[in-house]
């Protein structure tokens, strides 16, 4: 499906990832899923956990490779610009989502749901960036190692972190929980990032020197330790409620 769509969309200069997104929509319940027996035979319920696991592993590995391509010095030089773009990229969609929530609430949502909770959820849903899709587009357009690509990628990371925290806040409010849950998640996420950058980074550098990975390229042992750190970081952030794909790039 995606290969056929990429041949068509390639004629109008669209990245292949767009074909994958549209292909996923067509193969889902929106289109082909309405055909009787299609989902039960092509995507049986027992296969979904395995497909999800393989997809998450591939996504974490891909975003890890994206992180390897990022030049930290460029990120530092464009930090202020990235923050401004991230805030602007969230503020406008959030405002539009909040405005759209008014007619949606009065038309489709029962009165048992608080309007403020629904408005927050709708605004966040419109604000979150499809970060893996953004990475794929930058990679296919060969913009990943440019200043524009780094700025956009940095803004996308900030957008995703704030978006997931706001989503956690909306879920906490709906479940009659405390808004402190979202703040707690944000603080843990920041603490984990600092732990990786300040402590784990030095340990990995020491391990690279001890195994000769700096002079002769990464050894199998060093690569194993790196991959274990990658998936451990992804697992940890997934447990605390943040997307497992973010630390893949950060690690």
Average pLDDT, 10 consecutive residues per value, the chain (251 residues): 91 88 90 90 90 88 78 73 82 90 90 84 82 82 81 78 70 60 75 90 93 89 93 85 54 46
Task: Say if residues 19 and 2 touch (Cβ distance below 8 Å).
Answer: yes
27 located within any domain: no
Residue 250's pLDDT is what?
A: 45
Spatial neighbors of 221 by CB under 8 A, at least 6 apart, are 211
Which residues contact residue 113 at a Cβ distance below 8 angstroms, ignoring those fewer than 6 apart? 105, 174
Alpha-carbon distance 183 to 9, whole Å? Answer: 42
Domain membership flag for residue 12: no
* Number of Cβ atoms within 10 Å of the Cβ of 10: 13
Give the pLDDT of residue 207.
94
Domain assignment present for residue 224? The answer is yes
Q: Which domain holds residue 202?
A: 44-250
Report the C-alpha dihedral over residues 63, 128, 78, 70, rounded to 10 degrees: 0
What is the pLDDT at residue 10? 87
Look up tokens 């966040």; give the residue. 124
Give Cβ neighbours of residue 60 (< 8 Å, ≥ 6 apart).
230, 231, 234, 244, 245, 248
**Terminus-to-terminus CA distance in the chain, angstroms?**
33
Is residue 36 a part of any domain in this protein?
A: no
- As for how many domains the chain has, the answer is 1
Note whether residue 180 is domain-resident.
yes
> Is residue 75 assigned to a domain?
yes
**Which CATH number is 137's domain given?**
1.20.1530.20
Within 10 angstroms of residue 134's Cβ, the number of other Cβ atoms is: 20
Instruction: Annotate 10-69 with DSSP letters as a single string.
Output: GGGT--HHHHHHHHHHHHSTTTGGGSTTHHHHHS-GGGHHHHHHHHHHHHHHHHHHHHHH
Helices and strands, number each (H, E), in the chain: 14, 0
Whether 112 maps to a domain, the answer reads yes
Q: Has residue 155 been placed in a domain?
A: yes
Q: What are the structure tokens assigned to 222, written together?
A: 């060093």
């Amino acid at each position: 499906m995606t290969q056929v769509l990429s041949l068509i969309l390639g004629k109008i200069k669209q990245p292949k990832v767009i074909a994958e997104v549209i292909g996923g929509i067509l193969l889902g319940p929106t289109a082909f899923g309405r055909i009787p027996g299609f989902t039960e035979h092509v995507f049986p319920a027992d296969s979904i956990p395995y497909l999800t696991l393989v997809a998450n592993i591939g996504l974490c590995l891909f975003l890890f490779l994206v992180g390897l391509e990022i030049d930290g010095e460029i990120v530092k030089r464009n930090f202020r610009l990235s923050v401004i773009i991230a805030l602007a990229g969230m503020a406008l969609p959030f405002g539009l989502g909040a405005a759209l929530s008014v007619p949606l609430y009065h038309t489709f949502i029962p009165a048992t749901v608080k309007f403020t909770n629904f408005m927050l959820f709708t605004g966040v849903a419109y604000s979150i960036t499809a970060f893996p899709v953004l990475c794929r587009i930058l990679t296919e357009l060969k913009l990943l190692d440019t200043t524009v690509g780094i700025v956009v990628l940095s803004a996308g990371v900030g957008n995703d972190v704030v978006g997931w925290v706001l989503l956690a806040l909306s879920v906490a409010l709906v479940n009659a929980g405390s808004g402190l849950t979202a703040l707690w998640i944000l603080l843990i996420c920041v603490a984990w990032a600092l732990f990786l950058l300040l402590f784990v980074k030095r340990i990995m550098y020491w391990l690279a020197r001890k195994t000769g990975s700096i002079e002769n390229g990464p050894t199998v042992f060093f690569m194993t330790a790196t991959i274990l750190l990658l998936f451990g970081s992804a697992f940890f952030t997934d447990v605390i409620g943040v997307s497992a794909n973010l630390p893949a790039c950060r690690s």
